[in-house]
Amino acid sequence: MATDQWHVLGAGAMGCLWAAALQRHQQTSTNPVLLLRNTAALARYPGMITIESPGSEIRQFNLPAKAVTALPDDMPAIQNLLIACKAQDTEPALDTLAPWLNESSRIVLLQNGIRVQQELTQRRAPGTVFCLSTSHGAWIRHPFHVVHAGIGKAWLGLLPSAAHDDTTQALAIMLKSLPFSEMNVRADLHMSQRLWLKFAINCAINPLTVVYNCQNGALLSNELAREHLQQLCIEISLLMNALPECPALPDIWEQVKQVAQATEHNYSSTLQDIRNHKTTEIEHLNGWLCELASRHQLACPLNQQLLQAVRDRQSRRI
């Protein structure tokens, strides 16, 4: 097996986008392997991924695929695994893949939240769990057909963040393995702060887009939604400042306004899941924040209300 062999778990918008980018980045004939949920999903796979770029260019990539539930016992250990499934699906999938993961297997996490990233980092060998945060925009037009709606950036780092020689070396090696030029990937030695900030922003924007059934930008243009959003940001800021595990963050309200404006025409992933009758990541967003607040005896009434509101919408649609 070539040392640059990649497996990509998850065939949503980001999984397909990164799998195609990895294939273009490969310097050998070894293609990344797409790992699908089960044999039924594998049967629906057309044998290729279609990527529609912002300039309307359409390219197709022939990629091998396998079902996670039907991997051969004699399959070699997975060397590099990019996990692009939802946060709540990550651990069950990793349990299934356990026979093909060893201590040197490198895992790159591309999920909302920070809970999975922290827990997996604690369980795995140091320097083998990487976190990837991205501002690329993508959505599924059809199964395995992705619209790359917005060219963004991506940041790669490890938890806990530290600028030690072994950390920087591991990051440098992994960075070369990823499509760093095409996907604008940069190393981040302060990944903890980046993930906590993104977590806070998602906790503010995502549930409110469900409550108001709107695009991100409408949370600012709708007077009632804007006031609701600002009050929520105040509560989140108070919580973040009181959580001992949370690093110092910039002003949450200003950060949320910037993101909502920059993504004004986007629908949050949580609202997309509600509309598509899928389980959301809300338990790993506001649910996790409420759990942390409870652990430290901190009040979070707005987050609790929104958490329950999304749970109610979710239960009616699944």
Question: What positions carry a catalytic annotation?
Answer: 198
| Three-class DSSP category at 175 | helix
CA separation for the pair 274, 5 (Å, rounded)? 35
Amino acid at 202: N
Tell me: cis bond preceding 207? Omega within 30 of 0 counts: no
Q: In degrees rounded to 5, what are phi and psi of residue 126?
A: -55, 140
CA dist 280 → 33, 91, 196 (Å): 26, 16, 19
* Number of residues that this document lists for the chain: 318
Helix or strand (DSSP H, E) at 187:
strand 185-187
| Three-class DSSP category at 271 | helix
Q: Sort strands 80-83 and 185-187 into parallel, antiparallel or unpaired.
A: unpaired
Which strands, in side-by-side order, build the sheet including 58-62? 58-62, 48-52, 145-150, 137-142
CA separation for the pair 256, 265 (Å, rounded)? 15
